[in-house]
């Protein structure tokens, strides 16, 4: 990956960093020499990730957090900001694309999907904003999804949440731009995480990917991490309020 010297020693906070795209993002920032803290529900995967990077100059720091508990999330951000210095980069990565049919959705399930996929992004941003203002600026990177840009009926709670991320990004970019806090969305396509490969990437799905992607290669978590690094660094200093799509040219938008 490209090297961004300005990321060295920066405090980067990542949600859902224990596996998949999140783990790739954690590793990418650790490799840049950043001070990384991350939260996740999966303690075993998170501890294994920390062990993988234990010999790094600045190993990542893990904290358990159920992001539906907004108070706990914001308390952790405050505590970690005091322990490792103000957060200069927030990566709102955590989400869950659990499949469900529209007719099966209850009020409680709908609210849970919004809590898991959208609500925590705003409240994490709200919590880091004072720390970024203290630093004179920062970068907030929200993870969207290609699923919000195509016609799909497989997970309406997830796609609705991810579509709302665009509005969140644009609103916060306007609200905090004068403080040089940049807010952008990274929109991944079909990324070959372990979860996707286990649950959804069937031979039929492979044919769908081949039919819809302009590029023949499979998207990897590291491909998303590359874009996140760019948006975190000063190389993207005049980029804010935008969607950055990394989907290998999915044609069925």
Active site residues: 158
Gap between the Cα atoms of 148 and 157, Å rounded: 10
The rounded distance, in Å, linking the Cα atoms of 75 and 122 is 15
Partners of 129 in beta bridges: none
Q: Give the CA distances from residue 146 to residues 97, 110, 191, 245, in Å, rounded to whole numbers and listed in that order.
A: 12, 20, 10, 8
List alpha helices for the chain, DSSP H.
Answer: 20-31, 43-52, 70-84, 107-114, 120-135, 156-176, 194-199, 203-212, 221-232
Tokens of 239: 């980029």
Residue 141 in 3-state DSSP? strand
Please give the Cα distance from 15 to 94 (Å, whole number).
5
204-207 CB contacts, 8 Å cutoff, 24+ apart:
none
């Amino acid at each position: 990956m490209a090297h961004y010297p300005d990321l060295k020693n920066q405090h980067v906070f990542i949600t859902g960093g224990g596996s998949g795209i999140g783990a790739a993002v954690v590793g990418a920032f650790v490799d840049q020499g950043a001070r990384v803290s991350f939260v996740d529900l999966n303690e075993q995967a998170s501890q294994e990730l920390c062990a993988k990077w234990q010999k790094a100059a600045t190993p990542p720091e893990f904290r358990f957090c159920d992001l539906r508990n907004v108070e706990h999330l914001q308390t952790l951000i405050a505590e970690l900001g005091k322990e490792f210095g103000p957060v200069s980069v927030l990566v709102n990565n955590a989400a869950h694309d659990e499949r469900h049919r529209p007719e099966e959705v209850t009020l409680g399930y709908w609210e849970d999907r919004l809590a898991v996929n959208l609500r925590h992004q705003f409240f994490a941003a709200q919590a880091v904003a004072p720390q970024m203002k203290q630093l004179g600026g920062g970068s907030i990177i929200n993870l969207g999804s290609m699923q919000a840009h195509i016609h799909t009926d497989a997970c309406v709670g997830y796609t609705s949440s991810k579509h709302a991320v665009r509005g969140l990004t644009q609103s916060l970019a306007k609200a905090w731009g004068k403080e040089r806090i940049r807010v952008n969305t990274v929109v991944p396509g079909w990324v070959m995480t372990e979860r996707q490969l286990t649950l959804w990437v069937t031979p039929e799905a492979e044919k769908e990917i081949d039919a819809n992607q302009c590029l023949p290669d499979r998207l990897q978590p590291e491909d998303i991490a590359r874009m996140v690094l760019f948006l975190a660094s000063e190389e993207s200093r005049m980029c804010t309020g935008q969607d950055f799509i990394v989907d290998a040219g999915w044609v069925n938008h």
